[in-house]
Structure formats: structure tokens, C-alpha cells
Amino acid sequence: MKKSSSYGNLYYLQCYNKVVILILYVDDFFFIGDIDHEIIVWLKQELHNKFKMISFELCTKYLNIQFTHHQDGLLLHQTKYVQNIIDEFGMTDCNPFKTLLPENIKLQKDMKYPPMDTHMYQHMVGKLVFLTNTH
């Protein structure tokens, strides 16, 4: 395996015009590629011989990203994570609506309503920031 010169946690192996990519993240690793089953078995055994490992499994979810495996490829999506956000904040029955604000609008404090729970707001924004950064 060769280490990538541009990304320190990425390794690759080229074999018979096919490539496997290994990505390390903290104490997890993933590999993906267009290689034959025999090469995957060999690579797993080589890694198992050099490092203490628990198991090798087909990844279906990691950091709220779902991996859906198809015969012709791999689909990464966050459908369940988005649905969990919608459910958690009680927005299941909401309908999408485009709200266009005029340019240079000056917002003012609305004293008719009690202030929003800042902890809940920060929690919601944090989840949405994570969603957009992983999307």
C-alpha cells in the first residue's frame, strides 16, 4: 500500500489496473475499490496480521451517514438523520414554504413572543451544521 502525498490518512493499492483505497479515521478504517474478492480477502488478512482488530463488516452507517450498497456502486445518504432531526424538533407535519425576504431588510426584536430557548436553538443549529458539513 502507498500513502497519499496529499492526505495523510489515505492509502491506496493498485493491482492489475484496479485500485483499492484505504481511509483511516481515528480508530476506524474503510476501504473501497474496484478490486476482486480475492484481493479483498488478502488485504483483510494482511491488516489483521499487523494490527489488533475486532471485525471486518460491510459498512451500512457511520457518523450518521448511511451506505446503501448496490450492484453497480455505493450510495451515501443521510435520509434517517434528516428524518430524526425533523422528528426531534416536532416538524413532521410542517409543509415546505419558500420565504423570500426583501433585500436590505432591517430585523427588529419581536416583543410579542417569549424568547426562544437558546439551548434548543443551538442544538438544532449544531445538527444542521453537521448535516451540511457531511453532505
Q: Does position 8 have pLDDT exceeding 90, yes or no?
A: no
For residues 5-16, b (16+ Cβ closer than 10 Å) or e, as one string? Answer: eeeeeebebeee
Per-chain mean pLDDT for the chain = 85
Residue 57 grid cell:
463488516
Residue 56 grid cell:
471486518
pTM: 0.64
Amino acid in position 7: Y
pLDDT in tens, 29-43: 887 777 677 777 788
The pLDDT of residue 135 is 61
